[in-house]
Amino acid sequence: MRNIESKEDHLAVVAKYAEKLRLAQAKYIDLKHELVALERAMDAKPPAAASADEIQAYKGLQKRAQYSLKLAASFVSEYDELFAMAAKTVKLGR
């Protein structure tokens, strides 16, 4: 990270991180809604007389849910990194 020499530099860095955090929060909210929908879908079972296509659709939902959970784990890691950078920025400003 570059050396922050003035109050204006510090404010510019803080603004940059604030924007990244705002975008991350929006992404987090979207992901949270997606995960809730997928969780509900995964809890659903195909009807006993489900066709092969219906069973395949349920399997597709399960794969999508697994992918979303991996994405969520990646996102949480990214979010943690942004908070760490923001904390460093605040420390530098003190």
Within 10 Å of residue 71's Cβ, how many Cβ atoms? 13
Q: How far is residue 4's CA from residue 12's CA, in Å, rounded to a whole number?
A: 10
List per-residue pLDDT tens for the chain, 94 residues long.
555 577 788 778 778 877 887 887 788 778 778 777 777 776 777 778 888 898 888 888 878 877 877 777 777 777 777 777 777 766 665 4
Which one, of 22, 4, 14, lies nearest residue 79 by Cα?
22
The residues spanned by each domain of the chain are 7-93
Secondary element (H or E) of residue 14? helix 7-43
The verdict on pTM exceeding 0.75 is no
